[in-house]
């Protein structure tokens, strides 16, 4: 186990303050790239090492399985592997599975994997004709209603935009039919898991006592993304105790449409008048010109931190480019990406970000035309690809019988039997995509500890598969601005930064426009060394001329360029 003092030596002064403040309400305001994950994992590990925390009584909460897996991995490496690091849903589901047989009896209801099919049946019951896209929007509205703590009557009065051509009354009717069908079939959706667990704690003193006895210390990452329902459950887990540490950045609140409320972070000091507040503003990710652009974009916004670049080395300014059309923009980006790769930059260190998924197709085609492999983030999950499933199963079977060989030989022999080779096939396409997936598994050997056995390697691989902790693929990443949150690349291209896309056309009113501003801020702060922002004057099927985004005036006052 690491000594307490050794856990602090790798931290800067502000991170160290956060790590040493172990008790009572603590709020860590952590800007992009300031090492918040390092700070909170070292804080937890320091608490364990000093004896302030019993590992099994600490709960670290976050919002994605990937982030939870990263927390667990870092905590294990720091000697705090006994700490639970979970998403809100995973923590609530685990508790529900334990308490339901004791409180209600029998097994808990089945969890719906998705709402679509049941919603379609609910629409038939309500005699409503709705298409698939409208059903997806209704599903999102059901989620928003539940995480916002609203019943059907409250939702009807909320003034929400209605999906498709449905009226408010029809939407409410569809919600009711969905809930009725779900109850008849004894099923829960993901929001029900949190609602039912909160209800159990509120109504059953024995459940409340057991939960609060199990966990005493809570750490919540990305606290700006918490919803009213999650906040309610968190408060119930805490009871009347105050051992809560929250970490967040109001400037990265980009999920308000899904029920996230940044005011829980912004009002933390008012709710806990004795809270310790620590600000992390030293950015270790990006160059000074990129940080300057991000700061200019968020200047004067509520809760915005002022970032300071840790490096003072000379660096290029962000580039702003104007193109005549979407196709020209995609081709221009592809050519610049190719030049970077030819100059020695790795494809996986480059990302092209955009506002909506429909923008990706023209960019994918442009990259294919210049022979650059790409991968759309949020597409098919890595471990759900058939070739990856086959590779994991074959490697696992081999690891049960093969021992004593160098790890790379064992892994590469199996992968070669599945069609992998050391050399990549020429050009893009399905064959190249398959090779990239198998090669990503092969490259995991490079990151493995020297003493790792073949069996341990496949144990780790299966753990990654269970948590969707994907390895790095040698391809340029294509991603929406939303899905890029929490990631970083050496070079980032942000495409389509024009009025109607950033901000999106349906963003009306100050709050909605400000959310779009924060979304662009997230995109900018993904870049380590190089940032290119572009827009096109005209779309392929659009007659009118677009205008550049209003945000470009703020981030590009020193570096406007056009093409």
What pLDDT is attached to residue 386? Answer: 86
Q: State mean pLDDT over 536-549.
A: 78
pLDDT at 86 over 60: yes
Distance separating alpha carbons of residues 136 and 140, to the nearest angstrom: 6
Query: Per the structure block, which two tokens stand in for 340?
Result: 């970077």
The answer to whether the annotation marks 559 as part of a ligand binding site is no
- The reply to whether 491 and 429 lie within a common domain is no
**Domain check: are 9 and 82 in the same one?**
yes
Q: Is 24 annotated as a binding residue?
A: no
**Distance between CA atoms of 296 and 409, rounded to whole angstroms?**
52
Mean pLDDT, all residues of the chain: 91
Q: Is residue 100 part of a domain?
A: no
Q: Would you mind telling me the total number of residues written for the chain in this entry?
A: 563
Residues 491 and 353 in one domain: yes
Q: Which helix (H) or strand (E) holds 85?
A: strand 84-87
pLDDT of residue 379: 63
- Indicate whether 303 belongs to any domain: no
Q: Looking at the domain assignment, is residue 241 inside a domain? A: yes
469-471-473-474 Cα dihedral, nearest 10 degrees: 150
In a shared domain, residues 374 and 487: yes
The reply to whether 41 and 77 lie within a common domain is: yes
Of 25-34, 140-149, 156-165, 270-279, which gets the smallest average pLDDT? 156-165
Whether 24 and 173 map to the same domain: the answer is: no
369 CB neighbour count, 10 Å cutoff: 14
- Give the 3-state secondary structure of residue 560: strand
Was 294 annotated as part of a binding site?
no
CATH number of the domain to which 351 belongs: 3.40.50.300
Please report whether residue 504 resides in a domain: yes
Whether the pLDDT of residue 471 is over 80: the answer is no
For residue 323, give the DSSP letter: E
Q: Is residue 32 part of an annotated ligand binding site? A: yes
CA-to-CA dists, residue 392 to 284, 354, 441, 449, angstroms: 36, 32, 9, 19
Calpha distance 274→310 (Å, rounded): 31
What pLDDT score does 540 carry? 60
- The number of distinct structural domains making up the chain is 4
Residues 370, 480: one domain?
A: yes
pLDDT at 376 over 70: yes
Find the helix packing angle between 205-214 and 228-238, rounded to 10°: 80
Of the three residues 126, 150, 185, the one that is the final residue of a domain is 185
pLDDT at site 547: 92
pLDDT reported for residue 507: 87
Residue 89 Cα to chain centre, angstroms: 15
220 and 336 assigned to the same domain: no
Look at the block and give the residue holding tokens 């691989």.
461
Q: What is the pTM of this model?
A: 0.84
365 located within any domain: yes
Cβ atoms of 416 and 479 closer than 8 Å? no
User: Both 322 and 443 in a single domain?
Assistant: no
Band the pLDDT of 239: cuts 50, 70, 90: very high
Rounded Cα–Cα distance for residues 535 and 556 (Å): 13
Distance CA 521, CA 549 (A): 13
Task: Kindly state whether residue 287 falls inside one of the protein's structural domains.
Answer: no
> Is residue 561 very low, low, confident or very high in pLDDT (cuts 50, 70, 90)?
very low
- Please tell me whether residues 412 and 489 are part of one structural domain: no
Residue 122 pLDDT greater than 90, yes or no = yes
Q: Are residues 83 and 9 in the same domain?
A: yes
Does residue 469 surpass a pLDDT of 90? no
Q: Which of 435, 467, 499 is the last residue of a domain?
A: 467
Give a three-class secondary structure readout of 531-549. EEEEEECCCCCCCCCCCEC
Nearest-angstrom CA–CA distance, 327 and 250: 35
341-364, pLDDT tens digit by residue? Answer: 999 999 999 999 999 888 888 998
Q: Binding site annotation covers 34?
A: yes
First to last CA, the chain: 57
Q: Which residue is associated with the tokens 């400000």?
A: 514
Residues 127 and 154 in one domain: yes
Closest to 134 (Cα-Cα) out of 158, 179, 167? 167
Last residue of a domain, one of 185, 214, 249: 185
Residue 67 known to bind ligand: no
What crossing angle do the helices spanning 190-203 and 88-103 adopt, rounded to 10°?
Answer: 50
Token pair 């379609």: residue: 120
C-alpha to C-alpha distance for 268 and 238, rounded to whole angstroms: 15
Q: Please list the residues that pair with 555 across neighbouring strands.
A: none
Task: Residue 174: give the domain boundaries.
Answer: 110-185
């Amino acid at each position: 186990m690491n000594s307490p003092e050794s856990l602090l030596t790798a931290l800067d002064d502000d991170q160290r303050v956060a790590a040493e403040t172990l008790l009572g309400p603590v709020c860590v305001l952590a800007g992009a790239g300031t090492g918040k994950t390092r700070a909170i994992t070292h804080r937890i590990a320091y608490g364990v090492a000093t004896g302030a925390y019993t590992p099994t009584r600490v709960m670290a909460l976050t919002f994605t399985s990937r982030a939870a897996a990263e927390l667990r991995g870092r905590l294990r490496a720091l000697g705090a592997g006994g700490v639970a690091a979970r998403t809100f849903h995973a923590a609530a589901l685990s508790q529900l599975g334990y308490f339901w047989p004791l409180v209600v009896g029998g097994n808990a209801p089945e969890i719906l994997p998705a709402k679509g099919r049941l919603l379609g049946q609910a629409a038939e019951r309500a005699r409503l004709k709705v298409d698939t896209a409208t059903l997806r929007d209704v599903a999102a509205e059901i989620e928003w209603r539940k995480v916002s703590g609203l019943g059907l009557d409250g939702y009807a009065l909320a003034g929400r935009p209605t999906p498709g051509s449905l009226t408010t009354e029809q939407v409410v009717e569809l919600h009711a039919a969905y809930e009725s069908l779900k109850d008849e079939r004894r099923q829960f959706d993901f929001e029900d898991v949190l609602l039912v667990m909160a209800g159990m704690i509120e109504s059953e003193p024995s459940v409340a006592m057991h939960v609060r006895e199990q966990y005493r210390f809570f750490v919540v990452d990305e606290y700006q993304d918490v919803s009213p329902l999650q906040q309610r459950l968190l408060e119930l887990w805490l009871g009347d105790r105050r051992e809560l540490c929250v970490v967040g950045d109001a400037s990265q609140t980009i999920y308000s449409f899904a029920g996230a409320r940044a005011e829980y972070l912004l009002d933390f000091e008012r709710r806990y008048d004795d809270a310790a507040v620590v600000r992390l503003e030293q950015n270790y990710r990006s160059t000074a010109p990129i940080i300057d652009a991000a700061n200019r974009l968020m200047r004067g916004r509520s809760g915005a931190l002022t970032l300071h670049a840790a490096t003072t080395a000379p660096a290029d300014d962000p580039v702003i480019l104007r193109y005549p059309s979407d196709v020209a923009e995609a081709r221009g980006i592809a050519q610049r990406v190719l030049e970077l790769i030819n100059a020695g930059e790795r494809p996986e260190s480059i990302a092209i970000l955009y506002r909506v998924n429909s923008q990706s197709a023209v960019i994918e085609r442009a990259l294919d035309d210049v022979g650059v492999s790409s991968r759309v983030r949020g597409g098919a999950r890595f471990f759900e690809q058939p070739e990856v499933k086959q590779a994991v199963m074959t490697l696992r079977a081999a690891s049960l019988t093969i021992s004593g060989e160098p790890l790379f030989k064992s892994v590469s022999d199996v992968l070669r039997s599945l069609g992998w080779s050391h050399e990549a096939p020429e050009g893009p396409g399905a064959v190249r995509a398959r090779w990239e997936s198998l090669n990503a598994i092969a490259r995991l050997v490079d990151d493995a500890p020297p003493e790792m056995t073949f069996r341990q390697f496949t144990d780790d691989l299966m753990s990654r598969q269970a948590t969707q902790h994907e390895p790095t693929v040698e391809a340029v990443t294509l991603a929406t601005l939303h899905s890029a949150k929490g990631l970083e690349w050496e070079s980032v291209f942000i495409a389509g930064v024009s009025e109607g896309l950033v901000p999106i056309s349906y963003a009306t009113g100050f709050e909605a426009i400000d959310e779009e501003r924060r979304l662009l801020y997230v995109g900018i702060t993904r870049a380590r060394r190089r940032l290119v922002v572009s827009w096109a004057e005209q779309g392929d099927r659009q007659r009118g001329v677009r205008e550049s985004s209003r945000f470009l005036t703020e981030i590009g006052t020193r570096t406007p360029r056009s093409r």
